[in-house]
């Protein structure tokens, strides 16, 4: 299910970049349909969420938010 959401988000993100003229339509199509790129973004999103949780836990302990 997560890969479906990532692919939809990549499709919209690529469309925005193509409309703004940052990417060519060929590169936008590659970003939105490449399963390897989608997997890389999915892994990066998971790592970012996990790292965010650990940083939040560290800050909570440091500033006394966790009792």
Mean pLDDT throughout 23-35?
A: 85
Domain assignments of the chain as residue spans, ordered by start: 2-63
pLDDT for 46-61, tens place per residue? Answer: 899 999 999 999 999 9
Asked if 10 and 38 touch (Cβ cutoff 8 Å), the reply is: yes
A 10 A CB-CB count for 40 gives 12
Higher pLDDT, 67 or 23: 23
Predicted confidence (pLDDT) per residue in 9-21, tens digit? 888 888 888 888 8
């Amino acid at each position: 299910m997560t890969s479906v959401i990532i692919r939809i988000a990549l499709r919209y993100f690529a469309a925005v970049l193509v409309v703004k003229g940052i990417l060519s339509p060929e590169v936008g199509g590659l970003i939105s349909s490449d399963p390897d790129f989608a997997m890389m973004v999915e892994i990066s999103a998971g790592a970012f969420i996990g790292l965010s949780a650990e940083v939040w836990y560290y800050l909570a302990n440091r500033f006394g938010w966790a009792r």
